[in-house]
């Protein structure tokens, strides 16, 4: 169990990890939009690879401190599944959103002069209404959260965890990115939105991921309770 002296370390780890993900991931959206020679598939592949790589690297670098959740939705899933102490929910949420917003304003400093993507903000594709987009984000986040929770129970080595989560995120972005931008992460959407003042359909990327992640967390909790397993808390160093 995480002891009180580790709370600051956990929260700072989540701030740094979320900052890195929300800075580098959306930056790839901004930059690929400036390269006209790239096809839509090539741009999507580069964006998906960037997000997946950063997520994997954050697990390798910060997993020993906080589990490298770096996603408010998956944070809810971890608490719902009893993989994380409930007392960490709001402190980690605060630091994750702070990291995301700080990354958003860093993106504004770096790219506002030529950005055409609202700093990489998540947007619904033409023909995708908000309700459909919300359902898509629910499904995508459910799959991502399930992967993150299961890998924490099965894999003990950070490299294995990083590979599974990164691969899952890559595949989901490739599949869902053309429809909703494949957020699955409220901090990832809020950061660029606040910095660029782009709030269209933002609620889709707040409500959808949290619902999807909570469903994954509750399902895992029911399975563990049925099998009589004890919870597997986030592993951190003292």
Distance, CA of 70 to CA of 144 (rounded, Å): 13
| 174 located within any domain | yes
| 146 located within any domain | yes
Average pLDDT of the chain is 91
pTM over 0.85: yes
Q: What b/e sequence results for 33-64 when a residue is b if at least 16 CB atoms lie within 10 Å of its CB, and e otherwise?
A: beeeeeeeeebbbbbbbbbbbbbbbbbbbbbe
pLDDT of res. 237: 39
- Residue 74 makes CB contacts below 8 A (sequence gap 6+) with 141, 144, 145, 148, 149, 185, 213
Distance, CA of 210 to CA of 206 (rounded, Å): 7
Q: What mean pLDDT is predicted for residues 171-187?
A: 98
pLDDT of res. 225: 81
**Distance of alpha carbon 234 from its chain centroid, rounded?**
17
Region of 126 please: left (phi>0), alpha (psi -120 to 50) or beta: beta
pLDDT in tens, 75-104: 999 999 988 888 899 999 999 999 999 999
| 178 located within any domain | yes
> What total of structural domains would you count in the chain?
1
| 104 located within any domain | yes
pLDDT of res. 150: 82
State which residues form the domain around 200: 4-226
pLDDT of res. 224: 80
| 67 located within any domain | yes
Q: DSSP readout, 118-135?
A: TTT---PPTT--HHHHHH
- 1 pLDDT higher than 50: no
Of all helices (H) and strands (E), which one includes residue 20? helix 7-32
CATH number at residue 86: 1.20.1080.10
pLDDT of res. 67: 87
| 234 located within any domain | no
Percentage, residues of the chain above pLDDT 90: 79
| 210 located within any domain | yes
pLDDT of res. 201: 98
| 232 located within any domain | no
């Amino acid at each position: 169990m995480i002891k009180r002296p580790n709370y600051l370390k956990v929260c700072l780890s989540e701030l740094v990890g979320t900052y890195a993900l929300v800075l580098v991931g959306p930056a790839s959206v901004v930059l690929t939009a400036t390269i006209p020679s790239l096809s839509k598939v090539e741009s999507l592949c580069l964006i998906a690879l960037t997000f997946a790589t950063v997520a994997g690297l954050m697990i390798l670098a910060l997993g020993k401190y906080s589990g490298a959740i770096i996603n408010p939705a998956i944070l809810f899933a971890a608490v719902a599944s009893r993989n994380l102490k409930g007392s960490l929910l709001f402190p980690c949420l605060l630091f994750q959103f702070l990291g995301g917003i700080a990354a958003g304003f860093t993106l504004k400093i770096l790219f506002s002069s030529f950005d055409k993507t609202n700093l990489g903000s998540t947007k619904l594709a033409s023909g995708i209404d908000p309700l459909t987009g919300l359902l898509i984000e629910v499904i995508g986040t459910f799959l991502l959260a399930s992967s993150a929770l299961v890998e924490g129970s099965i894999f003990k080595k950070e490299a294995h965890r990083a590979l599974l989560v990164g691969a899952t995120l890559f595949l989901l972005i490739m599949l869902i990115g053309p429809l909703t931008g494949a957020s699955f992460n409220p901090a990832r959407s809020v950061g660029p939105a606040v910095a660029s003042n782009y709030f269209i359909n933002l609620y889709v990327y707040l409500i959808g991921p949290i619902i999807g992640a909570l469903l994954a967390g509750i399902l895992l909790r029911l399975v563990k309770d049925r099998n009589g397993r004890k919870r597997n808390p986030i592993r951190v160093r003292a």
